[in-house]
Amino acid sequence: MTKVVIIGGGPGGYEAALVAAQLGAEVTIVDRDGIGGACVLTDCVPSKTLIATSVRSTYVKEAAKLGIDVAEADGRPGVSVDLKTVNARVKRLAQAQSDDTAARVVKEGVEVIPGEARLVDPKIVAVGDRRIHADIVLVATGAHPRELPSARPDGERILTWRHLYELESLPEKLIVVGSGVTGAEFANAYQGLGSEVTLVSSRERVMPTQDADAAEVLEGVFGRLGMTVLGKTRAESVTNTGGGVVVTLSDGRTVEGSHCLMTVGMIPNTANIGLEEIGVRLDDGGFVQVDRVSRTSTPGVYAAGDCTGVNMLASVAAMQGRIAMWHALGEAVSPLKLSTVAATVFTHPELASVGATEGDVRSGRIDARVVNLPLDTNPRAKMTNSKDGFVKLICRQHTGIVMGGVIVGPRASELILAVSVAVQQRLTVDDLAHTFAVYPSLSGSVTEAARSLMQASPE
């Protein structure tokens, strides 16, 4: 029986364990913080749970536009958030998800060892004094928040997202440093919960890696709801003044707030666990270098998830882990294909995307046609007063094969599936256009966008 040892019990690790167990291997996971990993315990799951509260609270605040009377006597919407209760729910839910996942892997016969692991040899994993022999090792150790020396998080006023769920009351004035996906999600979430939010962005626009039209819509929504976005400036330092924080910007300005949330990137958990000593190559940022079937430079040692720096998403981590096990255990396997990964920014409205981008078209990398259909023409969007957003579709110039898409709107994370299926299955815009969508529905905009990309057949 092949012995597989997995270091790290996040989605990269536990999904791999399930595959390896299914294929008849003897599987051990060593994890230091809890099955589910940072994904379930501190990052993805807690943030999306918090955002669910924020979105509901925004719906209540906007309910008056749909004729619902929620106004207090002074004319302001009667919504207030008890952050202690919200955070208790977030933590409870995260722990329950971790417990469910742990129970599932144990049920499949996987051994779980709590503790910190390191490699002493490509085939020996050490946990304290214990030595575990492995035929195959998978490193899935994840990553942790990057810290700036001049803005060290203290857990009280200067925070990383992993501190947020310990707060007992809502930050009155929250300064979010970093306007990538994580920064934008939290800035928007706390805005929805009732904090006054300032977002410090080093770039010209927020979320520079996302579709430019989508980022523009979201920046417009943020501003309309009162967020201050300070663009093209960096936080040089952050000081806890006792009663609040002062953020000093690179242009010399200072911003005062009650709390500062630092979202300035991730550092892989790859130091001091014996990787380089056994020949595993890391890149300059410390990320494990892997090929498309998750092999590292050391035979028999695979890596998956955030520690590889490959599109840092839970879904990608899980797929890398599964691919590693299929490959290691001799199954037929398709190498990881990033061009079909669907991703969502969980702002309100959501921003979901898959496949090729408009940037690919503009740069000439692909020969394609693009349509952008604003949501405010969609009847369902009008009924629900969800006018911010659009559906963008990209198809190959001549064949009409769907290559990518972007959706900004409520539940875009769910709506994107139709486009993902089209991209994955190489469907054409005609295929999408001939698909029935419910009337009235937001998904009607997907089929309508496809219709507008159809071309008359040559005579």
Residue 347 interacts with ligand FAD (CB under 6 A)?
no
Laid out side by side, the sheet with 235-240 consists of: 235-240, 245-249, 254-257
Q: How far is the CB of 28 from ligand FAD (least distance, A)?
A: 11
Of residues 238, 282, 314, 407, which one binds ligand FAD by CB under 6 A? 314
Contact between 350 and ligand FAD per CB under 6 A: no
CA 200 to chain centre: 20
For residue 41, count CB atoms less than 10 angstroms from its CB and return exposed for 0-12, middle for 13-18, buried for 19 or more.
buried
Examine residue 315 and tell whether it contacts ligand FAD (CB under 6 A): yes
Residue 48 contacts ligand FAD per CB under 6 A: yes
Please state, in angstroms and as integers, the Cα–Cα distance from residue 104 to each residue in 43, 189, 304, following that order: 21, 31, 20
Neighbouring residues of 403: CB distance < 8 A, sequence distance ≥ 6: 355, 356, 366, 368, 394, 395, 396, 423
Residue 153 touching ligand FAD (CB under 6 A):
no
Q: Which is nearer to ligand FAD, 201 or 294 (CB)?
A: 294
- Cβ proximity of 163 and 153 under 8 Å: yes
Q: Smallest distance from the beta carbon of 363 to ligand FAD, in angstroms?
A: 26
Kindly write out the interface string for residues 78-117 of this chain, putting x where it contacts ligand FAD by CB under 6 A and - elsewhere: --------------------------------------xx
Written as six digits, the tokens of 285 are 């940022």
The residue within the footprint of ligand FAD, chosen from 37, 257, 400, 404 (CB under 6 A), is 37
Gap between the Cα atoms of 79 and 63, Å rounded: 11
Q: How far is the CB of 166 from ligand FAD (least distance, A)?
A: 15
Site for ligand FAD (CB under 6 A): how many residues? 36
Query: Which one, of 197, 195, 274, 251, lies nearest residue 229 by Cα?
Result: 197
8 touching ligand FAD, by CB under 6 A: yes
Give how far Cα 209 sits from Cα of 1, 212, 350, Å: 45, 8, 15
CB closer to ligand FAD out of 119 and 450: 119
Q: Please spell the DSSP secondary structure of 238-306, one letter per residue.
A: EEE-SSSEEEEETTS-EEEESEEEE---EEES-TTSSTGGGT--B-TTSPBP--TT-B-SSTTEEE-GG
Binding of ligand FAD by 142 (CB under 6 A) = yes
Q: Could you say which of 4, 5, 6, 11 contacts ligand FAD (CB under 6 A)? A: 11
CA 389 to CA 11: how far, in whole Å?
Answer: 31
Residue 32 is a binding residue for ligand FAD (CB under 6 A): yes
Q: Which helix (H) or strand (E) holds 29?
A: strand 26-31
Choose between 39 and 403: whose C-beta lies nearer to ligand FAD: 39
By CB under 6 A, residue 25 contacts ligand FAD: no
Q: Which residue has the tokens 């008890």?
A: 82
* Strand arrangement, sheet containing 124-127: 117-121, 124-127, 130-133
DSSP 444: H
Stretch that binds ligand FAD, among 41-49, 215-223, 228-236, 449-457 (CB under 6 A): 41-49
d(CA 121, CA 277): 8
The upper half-sphere exposure of residue 138, i.e. CA atoms within 13 Å in the direction of its Cβ, equals 41
Indicate the residue among 215 and 317 with the shorter CB distance to ligand FAD.
317
Interface with ligand FAD (CB under 6 A), residue from 30, 105, 290, 416: 30
Question: In this complex, which beta carbon is closest to ligand FAD, that of residue 139 or of residue 371?
Answer: 139
Contact mark string toward ligand FAD, 171..200, x via CB under 6 A: -----------x------------------
Which CB, 177 or 373, lies closer to ligand FAD? 177
CA 39, distance to chain mean position in Å, is 9
Stretch that binds ligand FAD, among 28-36, 79-87, 188-196, 434-442 (CB under 6 A): 28-36
**Using rule CB under 6 A, residue 313 touches ligand FAD:** yes
Q: Which residue has the tokens 């410090």?
A: 200
We find the least distance from the C-beta atom of residue 446 to ligand FAD, in angstroms, to be: 21
* Residue among 170, 159, 25, 47 at smallest CA distance from 97: 47
Q: Does 269 bind ligand FAD (CB under 6 A)?
A: yes
Of 4, 5, 6, 7, the one binding ligand FAD by CB under 6 A: 7
Q: Is 317 a residue that touches ligand FAD (CB under 6 A)?
A: yes
Residue numbers of the site for ligand FAD (CB under 6 A)?
7-13, 30-33, 37-39, 43-44, 47-48, 116-117, 140-142, 161, 182, 269, 273, 305-307, 312-315, 317, 346
